[in-house]
Structure 1
Amino acid sequence: MTILDRLAALGITLPAPMPPVATYVPVTIAGHLVTVSGQLPAIDGKVAVTGKLGQGVSLDEGQHAARLCLINILAQLQAALPGGLASVTKVVRLGGFIAAAPDFSQHAVVMNGASDLAVAVFGETGRHARSTIGVASLPLDAAVEVEGTFWLG
């Protein structure tokens, strides 16, 4: 089963990649490593989950936001790589930024929304190193932002 087959089985259609909201490129390729800049939980180019975890945004909404971020990462990879997602042989690392109230402590649970999807899409090669950080705010008032590093084989 290909990655696109797995996405279809999960009911996921990749959106058009969201253009950068500032001065950066969405994808950089250096040898076998590909880095995707932080992606927001956007649907149709608009941030779908805004606010702060523990302050109006529920844990379920946060996990959904992280999942949307990973879907947008996959869309960036599909568009940027000559072989699309089929070129990716390993998810190396995901980094998550969670906009949260000062007393919120379930950042890792939120980030599982992205990590679980990476494993569902890539199988065992989707298991990755990860950092998850709570922040005071994110661009466009997004609740979550996720970045990723991938290996091309």
Structure 2
Amino acid sequence: MIIAPKYILTNQNAQDAITKQFDTYKREKTSRDSRMQFADKLVEDYFALHLRVPPTSVLDRLASLILQDELADATPWKSRNNEYHIQSPREELDYHKGLVAKNVPESIATDGNDYRLPTRRQRTPSENAHIDREMGGKRRNDYKSSSSTSV
């Protein structure tokens, strides 16, 4: 793990240190904890030397470094696998247009089973007419035969 040295006085030195940490992540797949320790150390050193937090460009790159696992996740099932996933602008647009299921985490359990209440399909009027034609006579005959024997 690369710790930010005390000589980081400029924004460019901080950016260079973050770039080195990105390279280390790509080579060795460093853990999130080590990246967070690096970010904490860099921000604390910067604050100790300048008495203010680093500029937003440095903080943005640090956030990208920490969230590198989620940002680099290219699987299309990240919305199913992660509770709070990061979406691309296109995925967000699909979500808001309704092209993607919005209640997947609520209805599908961790075991993969869908626990939504089942709903039955409604028959169309033509299907109802067909059932009446096919089965209506049989029901009428059954009713007549059962009612005439009971009287």
Give the TM-score of the pair, scaled to structure 2: 0.30
Greater relative CO (CA pairs within 8 A, separation 6+): 1
Give the TM-score of the pair, scaled to structure 1: 0.30
Larger Rg: 2
Q: Identify, as 1 or 2, the structure richer in strand.
A: 1
